[in-house]
Structure 1
Amino acid sequence: MRARHARAAKALDVQTEAGGAFWGWAGRTLGVPARTADGAPAWLRLVSAPEDKASGKLWDGNLDAQHVFGDLDGRRPALLTVHDAVDNGTAYRAELSARVEQPVLSNDPVLQRDLQLPDSWWEDLAGTLAKVAAVNTDRVAVRQQYMDRAIPEFVGIPAPAVTCWTTAHSDLHWANVTAPLRILDWEGWGRAPEGFDAATLYAYSLLQEDVAARVCDAFPVLGSPAGLAAEAAVCAQLLQTVARGDNLVLQGQLRNWAEELRRR
């Protein structure tokens, strides 16, 4: 990955900077701060996949998001260019984006500390997600078939009827947002039940009761009949990760949430 990243930097005529390298899940991605030929700060991210799997929603997510959203009124780092290569059966895509200078609000998706964010931040988040939700797309983030299978298994209720499908970022956690607001990592965006992003952020806030309550205040869809399908889908997703040995720190809170959803 390091060698391919260096080749991509050369192909795109950017200089990478020492320090600040970020490895994604299981070493699938490698991101490094960089500067373009004219000195503009940038971020060079390399993603890899077997050549026969280098397509589809996740592979094209950032590129599709650029075409549809642009920089989303400054709330999304613009994708400047991409460079594709294949080597010995592995495909590599280098994505050069505008650099976000602000640090993410958490190094872990699960929020481990209290956050005091101004009302303006929450208003910006709600407004930005409303713009995302209004976009028409054929990309799918959450499938009905998954909900029909996973919600009964992990939450213990039949999959609630989805009253409204909207477009979602679909991975809205605390390691993907900054203050002032920027939303990172647009690989998986697509159609999901109304309130899915709010429910995701709520789930990753469960260790911090005040922040979780603030999420609910900012997104009244949570706790409402319209939000039940999204909440159940997110709860099922994360309980499934717990069953696989991930997000164990949330296990108790997720089970309590599932009990609340069963009562609703």
Structure 2
Amino acid sequence: MGRVTPQPVVDLRRQPVDDVLDRVEQGLGTRLERSTMVRKRRSVGVRTERDTWVRVERRAAGRIDGQGWNGTEAAAALTGVAMPQWLAGLAWRAPDGSAVWRADETTLLPDAPVKPAGGTLTAAPTLPDSWWRTLNSSLDALARAATTRVATPDTVTITQEGVTSLITDAFGAAVDTTVERWHPAHADLNWANVTGPTCCLFDWEDWGAAPRGLDAASLWAASLAVPELAGRVRYERRADLGSRDGRLMMLFACAKIAGPYADVADPKLEPARTAARQLIAELR
């Protein structure tokens, strides 16, 4: 048998995207202000001439599952959540069939992201009490919503088996990892996907049903290099994170940081290991 050639890793921070942006301009009928472009590994964001924002994402064809790939559009049905208004969408398959591209146009964010893309938050942001009230009311409203979507954090559909596998790989069969309650979650909640000082949650591609506490645990884990901020997240979302499912999601988040592929240079690593030991003791 011949050897299977692995697919190259595509990083939109480095790959030319002019032809993609040309297609978006034609499809949405607007000019993109390319000097405003923000590049991430699998997405590009850019302001338009009509004072809106377009986010363009590339996803491998194998990552497109039966629920479709229209998270930002589907999130427009949510109520009570601080988020940009969805205006239009455009999707197409790459000529070689290897990937699917999607562009979503939304209203502009009210403020800048709390943390620019990339790296770890290492200093506490200045967030007013109103910011925390909006975060809480948004996550509570999201949890009450109804959806047939299943969350896809890191583009992978979340399942009970996946939760168990990640925790077990990192910490062994130390606790019962059975999730009891599932409800809608943003599924990619971190400081790069929320604005401040006005709170607004954005990048809704991966939202859907997930274990209770996933969002709160994700934001808490992203704060571990700043103990006072991690403590504030844990306090504000104590109803979720104080539940057994919430603690499991905190352990799940720790496993992503302190698992087999841990980065020794990550300032969140030791706090995650310390928190994991405490969580395991509480969950036994």
Instruction: Give the TM-score range, shorter chain.
Output: 0.7 to 0.9
Gaps of 5+ in 2: 1-16, 152-157
1:226-245 alignment, distance < 5 Å? 226-240=245-259, 243=261, 245=263
CA distance in 2, matches of 1:247, 1:219: 28
Aligned to 2:30: 14
Please list the CA deviations of residues 220-242 of structure 1 after superposition, one character each: whole Å capped at 9, or x if unmatched. Answer: 132443522222222223334x7
Matched residue, 1:154 = 170
State the alpha-carbon separation in 2 of the partners of residues 3 and 101 from structure 1: 29
Q: Distance in 1 between matches of 2:100 and 2:246?
A: 39
* Worse-superposed segment, 122-131 or 144-153: 144-153
Stretch of structure 1 that moved more, 13-22 or 54-63: 54-63
Decide whether aligned partners of structure 1 residues 12 and 224 sit closer, same or farther in structure 2, where only a CA change above 3 A counts: closer
What SS does the aligned partner of 2:113 have?
coil
Computed over aligned residues only, the root mean square deviation of the Cα atoms, in angstroms, reads: 2.4
Aligned residue pairs: how many?
A: 254
Identity %: 28
Q: Which moved more, 1:114-123 or 1:178-187?
A: 114-123
Query: C-alpha separation between the residues in 2 aligned to 1:7 and 1:223?
Result: 47
Cα gap change, 1:198/1:53 in structure 2, threshold over 3 Å: closer, same or farther? closer
Question: Cα gap change, 1:252/1:95 in structure 2, threshold over 3 Å: closer, same or farther?
Answer: same
Aligned to 1:61: 71
Cα distance in 2 for partners of 1:246, 1:128 equals 34
Q: Kindly report which structure 2 residues correspond to 1:65-76, keeping only aligned pairs within 5 A, or say none.
A: 65-66=75-76, 68-69=77-78, 72-73=79-80, 75-76=82-83
CA–CA distance in 2 between the matches of 1:216 and 1:98? 31
Q: Tell me the SS of whatever aligns to 1:20.
A: strand
Structure 2 equivalent of residue 201 of structure 1: 219
1:257 and 2:271 correspond: no
Partner SS, residue 54 of structure 2: strand
Residue of structure 2 in register with 1:92 after alignment: 101
Q: Compare the two structures and name the one with the higher helix fraction.
A: 1
Please report the TM-score for the alignment, with normalisation by the length of structure 1. Answer: 0.86
Q: Give the stretch that moved more between structures: 15-24 or 208-217.
A: 15-24
Q: TM-score, normalised by structure 2?
A: 0.81
Q: What is aligned with 1:119?
A: 129
Question: Which amino acid in structure 2 is aligned with residue 81 of structure 1?
Answer: A
1:138 to 131, 144, 148: 148
Q: Distance in 1 between matches of 2:193 and 2:248?
A: 23
Q: Deviations over 1:190-228 (max 9, x none)?
A: 112211111111100011111111111111132443522
Which 5+ residue runs of structure 1 have no aligned equivalent?
A: none
In 1, Cα distance between equivalents of 2:265 and 2:53: 28
TM-aligned CA deviation for residue 34 of structure 1: 0.6
